[in-house]
């Protein structure tokens, strides 16, 4: 695919209005609330697997992406990068670049599997500029500072409500 690529990170996992899981990818150098976010709809198992890896949570038994990582390690191979390369009729396509004793190989993958594997191996995640331009949406996420300020405002308002008397508003 021609065109450039932008390096992204997993910004979060969300649910849309219909209850579908969405992985949100954003440029690594963009501040929260800036730029574009790429939403990719994924299954609940994939969402769980990505979230477990991103948060570094322990699981009692290996998940599918843990198995993929273990198989690659057993073959003395490593994931170099994953790329979301295109979107066609609403379906996203990804590739995983793996290097091992047999050299570099590019493997076709679902984006959710590629992202899940990247989250476990530390591989970089890239999105084609054309995909971000076509399917990206304005980033409306808030950063930690804005989230903390919003929580402070809510707490202040809740304190105000505790002490307010309806008679204070009578004219």
pLDDT tens digits, residue range 128-170?
Answer: 999 999 999 988 765 545 546 545 555 554 555 456 455 554 4
Using a 10 angstrom Cβ sphere, with 0-12 exposed, 13-18 middle and 19 or more buried, the burial of residue 11 is buried
- Predicted structure pTM score: 0.77
Least confident of 27-31, 45-49, 116-120, 122-126: 27-31
pLDDT at 27: 94
Q: Residue 12 pLDDT more than 60?
A: yes
Q: Residue 64 pLDDT more than 60?
A: yes
User: pLDDT band at 31, cuts 50/70/90?
Assistant: confident
**Distance separating alpha carbons of residues 152 and 7, to the nearest angstrom:** 33
User: pLDDT band at 1, cuts 50/70/90?
Assistant: very low
**Arithmetic mean of pLDDT over the chain:** 84
pLDDT at 100: 96
Higher pLDDT, 31 or 144: 31
């Amino acid at each position: 695919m021609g065109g450039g690529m932008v390096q992204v990170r997993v910004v979060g996992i969300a649910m849309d209005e219909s209850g579908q899981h969405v992985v949100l990818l954003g440029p690594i150098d963009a501040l929260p609330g800036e730029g574009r976010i790429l939403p990719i709809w994924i299954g609940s198992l994939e969402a769980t697997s990505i979230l477990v890896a991103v948060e570094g949570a322990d699981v009692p038994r290996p998940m599918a992406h843990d198995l993929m990582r273990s198989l690659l390690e057993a073959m003395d191979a490593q994931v170099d990068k994953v790329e979301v390369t295109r979107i066609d009729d609403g379906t996203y396509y990804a590739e995983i670049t793996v290097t091992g004793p047999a050299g570099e190989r590019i493997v076709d993958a679902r984006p959710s599997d590629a992202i899940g594997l990247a989250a476990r191996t530390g591989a970089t995640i890239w999105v084609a500029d054309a995909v971000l331009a076509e399917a990206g949406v304005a980033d409306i996420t808030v950063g930690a500072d804005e989230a903390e300020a919003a929580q402070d405002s809510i707490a202040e308002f809740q304190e105000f409500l505790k002490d307010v008397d309806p008679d204070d508003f009578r004219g």
